[in-house]
Structure 1
Amino acid sequence: MERDSKFLKSAAHFLVPDVIKASEFYRDKLGFDILGYFGDPPIFVMVSRGNIEIHMSQIKSAIKKASDFQSLPCDLYIWVTEIDALHQELKKNNVEILEGPVQRVYDCIEIVVKDLNGYVLVFGG
């Protein structure tokens, strides 16, 4: 099948109770850059690190995440280089590490963390 359009990148979209607190967690704990807030007061934010971008919208109701419905929870999988260096960075920043680094049968070393809103991120390398 011929395709004329190339997909360039994608962004995860998380629903959070406070976009400022959430974006500051990603900046201060996970090393992301805050790209910008939208709304007055802010109700939407974009953060990025490398080629990974996460968008967050502020909502008032209860939040259900993909990890709430899975036996092996994961809301976002991020492939990385230098997984051991990332592990040291996460420990230094007191990020809640649920598991890892652990060698998986599918030939990845993974670190599983939880953010301040309960989203589960898996870093694999």
Structure 2
Amino acid sequence: MSGGKQIFAASPVLLVADVVKAHDYYATKLGMRSPKLWGDPPRFAIPQRDEVSLMLNQVDQGAPIHPNANYDGRADAYFWVRDADALHAEFKAAGADIVCEPQDEVYMMREFSIRDFDGHLLIFGHDISGAA
């Protein structure tokens, strides 16, 4: 077995009602694009940006979707970023559904949150402790 790192990335898998509409939101509002949509008709996508990806997996028509955000506003995905304020401004200009403006948290992160097409809560933050 190699002594190198074995785990080098993780991708949240978000369940969506319509992968085409969900992907359009990620592409136009967040600048995350999938190289393709899989299935005929499409049911799966892997939007990517800056070497970070997430997966969108379409559920059967009419099946319920239960975002973590439905449980006291818990996050469905957290993204560590270089500059939360700059990214917030970009997403806001693109018309993303901003839930929370950038703010400093007690755990030394400056973060903001958005809601996607299916109600998933996505949080974007950068370290303000000076340790990073």
C-alpha contact 2:73 2:121 (8 A) present in aligned 1: no
Structure 1: distance between partners of 2:10 and 2:75 = 17
CA distance in 1, matches of 2:84, 2:70: 26
- Percent identity between matched residues is 31
Structure 1 partner of 2:42? 42
Give the distance between the partners of 1:20 and 1:36, measured in 2 at CA: 11
1:64-83 residue CA offsets vs partner (Å, 9 max, x unmatched): 122222x3420000000122
TM-score for the superposition, normalised by structure 2:
0.86
Residues 4/81 of structure 1: CA separation in 2 closer, same or farther (3 Å cut):
closer
Q: What does residue 123 of structure 1 align with?
A: 124
- Give the corresponding residue for 1:6: 6
Cα shift at 1:90: 1.3
CA deviation after TM superposition for structure 1 residue 107, in Å: 0.9
Name the TM-score, length of structure 1 as normaliser: 0.90
Q: Secondary structure at the match of 1:34?
A: coil
2:66 corresponds to: 64
Distance 1:4 1:88, change over 3 A: closer
5+ unaligned residues in a row in structure 1: which ranges? Answer: none
Instruction: Tell me the secondary structure at the aligned position of residue 32 of structure 1.
Output: coil
Aligned to 2:130: none
**RMSD, matched Cα:** 1.7
CA deviation string 1:65-119 (max 9, x = no partner): 22222x3420000000122211110110111111120100111100111011100
- The one-letter amino acid paired with 1:66 is N
Q: How does 1:1-125 map to 2 (within 5 A)?
A: 6-60=6-60, 61-69=63-71, 71-125=72-126
Which one has the bigger strand percentage? 1
Runs (4+) off by over 4 Å: none
How many residues of Structure 1 are paired with residues of Structure 2 in the alignment? 123
